[in-house]
Amino acid sequence: MQSWLDVDPTSDFSIYNLPFGVFETRDRAPRAGIAIGDYIVDLAVLAERRLLPLPDHAPHREEDLQRALNRPTLNDFIALSKSVTGAVRLCVQQLLMASSRDAHPPEVWAHALVRQRDARMLMPLRVPNYTDFYSSLHHATNVGAMFRDPKTPLLPNWRHLPVAYHGRASSIVVSGAPIRRPRGQIKRDDDPTPTFGPTLALDFELEMAFVIGKASPLGRPITTSEAEQYIFGLLLFNDWSARDIQKWEYQPLGPFLGKNFASTISPWIVTLEALDPFRVPMPSQEPPPLPYLRASGNQSFDIHLAVDLIAPSGLTLTVCRSNFRHMYWTMSQQLAHHTVNGCNVEVGDLMASGTLSGPTPESYGSMLELTWNGRNPLRLPDGSTRTFLEDGDAVALRGWAERDGMRVGFGEARAQILPALDGEA
C-alpha cells in the first residue's frame, strides 16, 4: 500500500499500522487520533464531515461515534466494539491511500491533519485495573538463579500457570511524564534493622501490555479461543521497580511499594489487526498446560524491542534488544487464566507481559539482569558506569515489527528520573 502522504519508510507509523491515541493542541480539546508518519489524523474532524460511516450491522449511531471520538480517553470509542473501531481504521486507511488523494477537497485534510510536533499526547486510556504477569521464561530463570537456586531457578508453579499480581492503575502515566525516585524501607544484608530513604536500586522493566476492549460479566471465564475478541491492541509498558524496597517487602505477599509508584506506557495503541502479519507460533510448553490453558497456532508476535538509556549529558546507549516472541505464556493464556475463576474484565484494563528478557545477555530486559544485581556494571561510552538508574537518567522503550516492506511500530515509552522528594515520611 502507498499513501499520498509523504511517510518515511523507517517510520513506526506506516499506512499498515494506523494506531489509536489521544492528543490535544493549543486550539483543540483532547480527542482521538490516528498516527500516520509525522502526522495525526483528527478522527473527530473526519466524523464531523461524515467521512467515517459505521458498518451496516453496527448497533450504534454516528452521533455515538462522534461523541466517543471527542472524549479525553479512548474507552468509550473502544467500547463501541471491534466492528466499529476496525471499520474506522480501515476507512482512514482507504482515505490515505494514494488512489484517494483527490477524493475530498484539500481543505478537509488541511483541518484533519495535525503535525505530531504541534500536538501533546495524553494518556490514551482510563485504566480501571492493571495486572502484571511474569511470563518470560528467561527472566524468571535469571531472577530465580540470582536469588534462589541456579540449579532449580523456577518455582514449582511457573510452568503450570501464568504467574501474576494486581498492580496499581492510578500511577500509570503516559510517555514523557517524569518519574520521581521513590522512597521506602530498605533492609541491607549486613544491617539488623531496615532504614528509610530513597531507593538505591531503581530499575526499568521492558514489557508490553494488551488493552482490554470488551467487558466480561462477573462469573464468566474467557476461554483461550475467545480471548482475542477481548483484546483491542498493545502498547509499550515500563514497569519501574525499586529493587531494594521490593526485596525487603515482597515476602510473603509480593510486590507493593517497590512497584506501585509508577509505570510508563507509550501513547499509541497498535491494534491486533495491524499486527496480524507478524504472527509466529507460540512456544513449546512442557509440561502441557491444563485443558483450560491449552492453545495452538500462531498465538505470538515477532515484535522487536529495544531499551535506550539516556544519561543526563544526552549520551545514549542501547542496553537491551529483545523480542515479544520470547513470552512463554501467550496473551490468550494470560487472559484465560485471569478470568478462569470468574474475575471480570473492563474496557481499558491493562495486562502487562512481565519483563521480556531473551536468551542472551544483551536481550535481558532489566538492569537487575543486565548487571546481575549490580555485580557487573554497565559501561557507558563516556567511561561512566551504571549498576542501577541514577537521577537525571532517562529510559526509552521502543518496539516495532517489520516484514516484506511493512513496518508497524509503537513509538516509544520514555521518562526521565527526578530526585526523591526531601523530608521524612
State yes or no: 27 annotated in a binding site.
Answer: no
Strand pairing report for 172-174 and 263-265? parallel
Q: What is the dihedral of CA 415, 335, 143, 311, to 10 degrees?
A: -10
The DSSP element (H or E) to which 304 belongs, if any, is strand 304-310
State yes or no: 239 annotated in a binding site.
Answer: yes
Helices (H), 22-74: 43-48, 62-69
Residues 407 and 19: beta-carbon distance below 8 Å: no
State yes or no: 250 annotated in a binding site.
Answer: yes
State yes or no: 12 annotated in a binding site.
Answer: no
The catalytic position among 57, 60, 111, 139 is 139
Going by the DSSP 8-state scheme, the letter that residue 230 receives in this structure is G
Residues 31 and 21: beta-carbon distance below 8 Å: no
**Angstrom distance (rounded) from CA 16 to CA 28:** 27
State yes or no: 191 annotated in a binding site.
Answer: no
**Angstrom distance (rounded) from CA 318 to CA 362:** 9
Closest CA to 347 of 74, 72, 88, 43: 74
**Angstrom distance (rounded) from CA 305 to CA 264:** 15
State yes or no: 148 annotated in a binding site.
Answer: yes
Joined together, the cell numbers standing for residue 332 give 490468550
The DSSP bridge partners found for residue 131 are 166, 351
State yes or no: 134 annotated in a binding site.
Answer: yes
State yes or no: 165 annotated in a binding site.
Answer: no
* 139 part of the active site: yes
> What residues have CB less than 8 Å from 368, skipping those under 6 apart?
143, 146, 201, 203, 241, 243
Number of CB atoms found within 10 A of residue 24's CB = 16
Cα separation values, 386 from 272, 353, 367, 377, 389, Å: 37, 25, 9, 5, 7
**Angstrom distance (rounded) from CA 172 to CA 186:** 24
Residues 77 and 71: beta-carbon distance below 8 Å: yes
**Angstrom distance (rounded) from CA 178 to CA 194:** 28
The DSSP bridge partners found for residue 184 are 197
**Angstrom distance (rounded) from CA 65 to CA 337:** 33
State yes or no: 300 annotated in a binding site.
Answer: no
Residues making up the binding site for Ca(2+): 132, 205, 207, 239
Residues making up the binding site for Mg(2+): 239, 259, 263
Residues making up the binding site: 132, 134, 148, 205, 207, 239, 246, 250, 259, 263, 355
Residues making up the binding site for substrate: 134, 148, 246, 250, 355
The residues assigned a catalytic role are: 139
